[in-house]
Amino acid sequence: MAGDLRDGRIVIVGASLAGLRAAEALREEGFTGSLTVVGDEPYPPYDRPPLSKQVLLGRVAADSTGLPMRRDPEADWRLGVRASGLDPLGKRVVLADGKSLPYDRLLIATGTRARTWPNPEEAALDGVFTLRTRDDAGELAERLAAGPRRVLVIGGGFTGSEIASACRERGLEVTVTERGPAPLVGALGGTLSKLAAAMHRNNGVDLRCGVTVTALRGDASGRFMGADLSDGSRVEADVCVAALGAVRNVEWLADSGLAAGPRGIACDAGCRAFNMYGIVTDDVFVAGDVSRFPHPLFGYQMLSLEHWGNAVAQAEVAAHNMVSPGPLRRPHLAIPTFWSTQFGLNIKSVGVPTFSDHVVIAQGSLEARRLAMVYGYQGRVTAAVTVDMAKSLDYYRHLIETAAPFPPAPGAADRPIAADIPVPSDVPDPKGLSHGPTVALTGYLPDRRLTVVHPTG
């Protein structure tokens, strides 16, 4: 049986980080059959995190972030063509150019795209951007290099904050609007969001929280010139970036019968997709940002993660399971981890900070701009976030993995008094924010309401 699984036809839809790493891992696992990778962008797999950092700072070119291969996956790359449908009974992927690809096993790694400004006419104004792809980053970097009078960033999530940080570093005036009470509040909760707001303002960002943008204005030639805000004020700017979060690329699966929706494609811990009846498939696998999977450390809630590390880890598990018989399959149990660099600070997170009721500052302090914050849920450590303290993160990962009690026991030499004072974690309902969450708990807890549902399109 195992011999059969190492042969046959595997199709991977999605040619970004998860698709590439899965293709490599399939060969590593001994897959000798035919391997086809479909990607809608015309470029080979490239890395996205540098796009909002090095590229916007003008230090590296947008077309230079191609991902290195660990090994040549000897794949047939179908780049620049979109998958438009799936026939799970006939076992074929339908492509937008009318061709179709038969498969024995399929991996879906179609990821996400940027949520666009909801008014299409305003979104089409010259100077209005989103940031997700290499082309987006290239065009935006060019605009920033031209020295606009002011940049408007809509949404104070990680991407919006990194864009604002890059603008300030380039000496550009920037306004950030966020419907929630502070930047990053949806991901990190109340306390660290106040530090984030202070970092924005100390670095000269015109930060407007608790407001929404009601309209984008253009001149007669269709060039963006400013925006109206819900508090009646107006922002004059030449460039606008809508950093409103991500939309999962699932529309092509609408008629497939798979459990694909706005929150992603539901799969089991072994990356096998569920169909719409909740029955697990055995030949369709999911990995990366488009997946939604159960995690035992977080109450078996379905997690949707937009994390680089998750794409890599989940792709490897999916690849292993695609070529392994049932009892040898592995679960994807990696602890969510991500990072962001903004305003000269390195923010790293492990666990799920939104899965929390209280926090303590276990090391360092807000004033020092250097700290480790530990998140707890019902007396158990569920997450930690470090600011310029990355070396401490592994210790807290261990606490999460072992379900250590919260607040954590004394351990660090620089333990402040605050480590004994749990305060509410203050994670708001994501519905009230401009920026979509990069981690979404999409299950239910009896005492919490943290579901995210976004309209499609």
Partner 1 sequence: MRIVVDLTRCQGYAQCVFLAPKMFQLHGEEGLLYAPAVPDDQAERVRQAAAACPVQAILLGEEVSADGR
Residues of this chain that interact with partner 1 (CB under 8 A) are 20, 37, 43-45, 47, 49-50, 53-54, 57, 59-61, 64-72, 75-79, 307-309, 312, 337-339, 341, 343-346, 348, 370, 388, 390-391, 393
Question: What are residue 236's DSSP bridge partners?
Answer: 226
Toward partner 1, which CB reaches closer, 242 or 319? Answer: 319
Least distance (Å) from partner 1 to the CB of residue 454? 26
Cα dihedral: 50, 56, 60, 64 (round 10): 60
DSSP SS3 for 437? coil
Toward partner 1, which CB reaches closer, 343 or 377? Answer: 343
Least distance (Å) from partner 1 to the CB of residue 382? 18
Question: What are residue 78's DSSP bridge partners?
Answer: 38
Burial class (CB in 10 A: 0-12, 13-18, 19+), 71: exposed
In whole angstroms, give the CA distance from residue 174 to residue 149.
Answer: 9
Least distance (Å) from partner 1 to the CB of residue 341? 4
Toward partner 1, which CB reaches closer, 106 or 312? Answer: 312
CB 427 within 8 A of CB 186: yes
CB 295 within 8 A of CB 303: yes
Toward partner 1, which CB reaches closer, 391 or 449? Answer: 391
Give me the half-sphere count of Cα atoms (radius 13 Å) on the Cβ side of residue 224.
28
Least distance (Å) from partner 1 to the CB of residue 52? 12
What burial letters (b/e) apply to 91-103, b meaning 16+ CB within 10 Å?
Answer: bbbbbeeeebbeb
Both tokens assigned to 167: 């603008």
Least distance (Å) from partner 1 to the CB of residue 184? 16
Both tokens assigned to 394: 């592994």
In whole angstroms, give the CA distance from residue 174 to residue 168.
Answer: 7
Toward partner 1, which CB reaches closer, 15 or 244? Answer: 15
CB 452 within 8 A of CB 442: yes
CB 258 within 8 A of CB 248: no
CB 35 within 8 A of CB 10: yes
CB 51 within 8 A of CB 64: no
Toward partner 1, which CB reaches closer, 156 or 364? Answer: 364
Toward partner 1, which CB reaches closer, 210 or 411? Answer: 411
Nearest CA-CA partner of 108 in 245, 274, 246: 274
Least distance (Å) from partner 1 to the CB of residue 44? 4
DSSP SS3 for 383? strand
Least distance (Å) from partner 1 to the CB of residue 238? 26
Least distance (Å) from partner 1 to the CB of residue 49? 7
In whole angstroms, give the CA distance from residue 207 to residue 158.
Answer: 14
Toward partner 1, which CB reaches closer, 59 or 398? Answer: 59
Toward partner 1, which CB reaches closer, 68 or 120? Answer: 68
Least distance (Å) from partner 1 to the CB of residue 233? 32
Toward partner 1, which CB reaches closer, 59 or 201? Answer: 59
Question: What are residue 340's DSSP bridge partners?
Answer: 347
Least distance (Å) from partner 1 to the CB of residue 311? 11
Toward partner 1, which CB reaches closer, 70 or 149? Answer: 70
Both tokens assigned to 434: 């401009």
Interhelix angle 190-202/158-169, rounded to 10 degrees, is: 20
Least distance (Å) from partner 1 to the CB of residue 389? 8
Toward partner 1, which CB reaches closer, 159 or 281? Answer: 159
Least distance (Å) from partner 1 to the CB of residue 113? 21
Residues 6 or more apart in contact with residue 128 via CB below 8 angstroms: 117, 122, 216, 224, 240, 241, 242
User: Strand 337-342's sheet: what is its strand order?
Assistant: 337-342, 345-351, 380-387, 370-377, 358-365, 423-424
